[in-house]
Amino acid sequence: MKLLFVHQNFPGQYRHLAPAMAAAGHEVVCMGDDGNVLIQSPPSGMVVVRYPPPAGASPGSHHYVAGFEAAVRRGQAVLRACMELGRQGFIPDVICAHPGWGESLFLKDIYPQAKLLAYLEFFYNARGQDAGFDPEFPGTLDDTFRIRIKNSVLLHGLQAMDWGVTPTRWQAQRFPADVQHRISTVHDGVDTRLVCPDPAATLTVTPEGASTPLTLRPGDEVVTFVNRNLEPYRGFHTFMRALPELLRRRPNAQVVVLGGDEVSYGSRPTNHPHYRAQYLAEVGANLDLSRVHFLGKVPYSTFLSALRVSAVHVYLSYPFVLSWSLMEAMAAGCLVVASDTAPVREVVRHGHNGLLVDFFSPGQLAETVATALENPQRLERLRRRARETILARYDLETICLPAQMRLIEDLAAGRTPSRRPADSKPLPAPTE
């Protein structure tokens, strides 16, 4: 087959699938924004094409439609790059594209015979999901209107796609009912051979105000918290407010926080340069900052080391896209304390493979983490079952990648892909 993968931040969600299809002998061309492409040396059989970063919306655009205009410009940039590929003789059989930024807007117009498999990350709604979930950040009627228009690009993508794929059942259920019959649920997958426990792991940090580094190891009281960026969507405010009581109760605990100071979701803080500054201003006077280590954005190897030395890993999220980091923490055998929100409950069962807490309760979070640190042996079974869950339902090599490849093969062959979730196995039973 001739396959075209399109993602502005390539490889994005195609980091495993595109190389696997190339390794299987297919002709694979991948396309992304020249300013964002994150792969420098593609593997054999895979060609990466970069399109120039498009201009954004016009200065006078209404703020409801500025994103749509920017998406149209991006779609045009992809169109021009595809026309050049056509002049070179490349006509894809199947296109895999993320429609969220407008890249797939015109693909079916220039490749009408190709099958379009859309990666469907999230369909926005003004109620019942992330918007309006947190009373600390209430939405407005203007937000409701803006969110409705925000879906415009995605609605075009849903109309044009031959089939869609989304990582979780909760995400699939966010999309309009009349398209759900054309969506398969297949997670991106976790490389469990790489992401695994390591009793010899270490993580070195330098406490604030100290000149001597501190080396953390499995068995130490290490609490980990990971976001791409530290922000309320992922519960950073609840986590920070839990720390004074947690550190008071556990004088030997060390807290490792990974994540940047930008904003991935929602709006920026109004009175501080970033949310880390805002919540340090709120609770910092009550924290022993020599035991709270903000490492910022780190290499993947450092992220894995943090998970491997973790005694308790905290994951909090609005009803929103489930983070890869939660699945990787479970694969690494972490004892996960997570928010009792709908996307999380799809993976974490309270008392079976993790512990769930009220997203809005710093007190309950502090109590749960402190108790877990007090009883590591009693809760060891949760660590084991967390990894068993990922192996049974979300393993990259044995479950998710084969299911993703079958979707492409079925589309190319004119078969209707399966809608049965790749993670349809029940949570594994206790092994003891």
pLDDT of 269 reads 93
In this predicted structure, the answer to whether residue 266 has a pLDDT above a threshold of 90 is no
**Cα distances (Å, whole numbers) of residue 266 to 11, 136, 235:** 24, 12, 12
Tell me the pTM: 0.94
pLDDT of 41 reads 81
Which tens digits make up the pLDDT trace of 189-199? 999 999 999 99
Is-contact 412 31, C-beta < 8 A?
no
Which tens digits make up the pLDDT trace of 16-32? 999 999 999 999 999 99
* Residue among 39, 116, 106 at smallest CA distance from 74: 106
In this predicted structure, the answer to whether residue 119 has a pLDDT above a threshold of 60 is yes
Is-contact 222 202, C-beta < 8 A?
no
- Percent of the chain whose pLDDT exceeds 90: 90
**Which single residue is written with the structure tokens 């930008």?**
262
CATH class of 203-392: alpha beta
Q: Compute the average pLDDT of residues 45-66.
A: 93
Peptide bond into 11 cis (omega under 30): yes
pLDDT of 267 reads 86
In this predicted structure, the answer to whether residue 430 has a pLDDT above a threshold of 50 is no
Cα–Cα distance measured from residue 310 to residue 379, given in angstroms and rounded to the nearest whole number: 14
pLDDT of 40 reads 76
Residues 6+ apart with CB under 8 A from 111: 4, 82, 91, 92, 95
Q: Compute the average pLDDT of residues 417-426.
A: 71
pLDDT of 424 reads 61
Average pLDDT, the chain: 95
Q: Structure tokens of 193?
A: 């051979």
In this prediction, residue 423 has a pLDDT band, given cuts at 50, 70 and 90, of low
Which tens digits make up the pLDDT trace of 315-364? 999 999 999 999 999 999 999 999 999 999 999 999 999 999 999 999 99
Task: Provide the residue ranges of all domains of the chain, joining segments of one domain with +.
Answer: 2-189+396-413, 203-392
Is-contact 49 8, C-beta < 8 A?
no
2-189+396-413: in CATH 2.120.10.30: no
In this predicted structure, the answer to whether residue 432 has a pLDDT above a threshold of 50 is no
Residues 6+ apart with CB under 8 A from 285: none
Strand order in the sheet with 254-260: 292-296, 254-260, 222-229, 312-315, 336-339, 355-357
* Residue among 5, 50, 51, 10 at smallest CA distance from 27: 5
Strand order in the sheet with 2-6: 46-51, 27-33, 2-6, 94-97, 115-119, 163-166, 183-185
Weakest mean pLDDT among 165-169, 402-406, 424-428:
424-428
The residue ranges of DSSP E strands in 150-264, in sequence order, are 163-166, 183-185, 203-205, 214-216, 222-229, 254-260
Tell me, yes or no, if the two domains 2-189+396-413 and 203-392 fold the same way.
yes
pLDDT of 431 reads 44
**Cα distances (Å, whole numbers) of residue 46 to 24, 41, 195, 315, 402:** 11, 10, 25, 35, 19
Q: Compute the average pLDDT of residues 382-403.
A: 97
pLDDT of 323 reads 97
- The backbone region for 351, taken as left when phi is positive above 0, alpha when psi lies in -120 to 50, beta otherwise, is left
Q: Compute the average pLDDT of residues 244-267.
A: 96
pLDDT of 390 reads 98
pLDDT of 259 reads 97
pLDDT of 420 reads 75
Which tens digits make up the pLDDT trace of 356-392? 999 999 999 999 999 999 999 999 999 999 999 999 9
pLDDT of 139 reads 85
